Structure 1
């Protein structure tokens, strides 16, 4: 139902925009298409890697490593994986959903997504150029601690909701 509402709103807004200024609307559509073309290789690569991983690992294995029963170890492992991996945020949420559907725990997926979006081990050298080594270390360290706190908070609050 919500998809229908969102698609309807997008179509209505597109028609209003097109009616107001055809040239700007066409230009915006072309920019959006170019942006999609730029993201597509990254997106497909990550989906292939996640798909192969899910094909190789059985749901029981994922559940054992990142399931609710994995506890603190699973949360820290997910946080470490999220810190190292680099993927766009919209792919992180899709990945989290696939992991949840294959037996991963809420806290573990929350730690993974949180660190994926907040920490970038790969981008540390670039970040250090702008805010310095000390600033980079503190920002990433605090983000990691925050991600662990969020994971345990999600585990305690989400089942209640």
Structure 2
């Protein structure tokens, strides 16, 4: 190795602002991550178990189908990342795969917007926004570390799905 650092432009990750815009459907790109992130946002929103009236809105098996869809998209993102994001030998590994990180952000985004739109509790709305902001900042730091080749992502595994219905 010549000691040269690979170009940061060769790491095709979404910018933090684009992740949030993609989740909400306000960002388009040819990068497949955009569609997957949007899909994750939609599925996590479907899992929010109550309406403003506080009545369950899911039929039997619905949540498990949605969770299986989330696992499928996380796997697609992780497979894409394994092919497109180089792994730096000797760099520390993050605890979560790219798919898991993006799914987590999509979940926080959906729950934040639900809270903002449906909660009368100003403190709860503030905490929700703050939590989303922290997730965005954490993702920004993750991207920065990956681009600098100081961190690598694990390959990912969707694990064993435990039924929670």
* Structure with the bigger percentage of helix: 1
TM-score (norm 1): 0.38
Larger Rg: 1
- Taking structure 2 as the reference length, the TM-score comes to 0.37
Taking CA–CA contacts closer than 8 Å with sequence separation of 6 or more, which of the two structures ends up with the larger relative contact order? 2
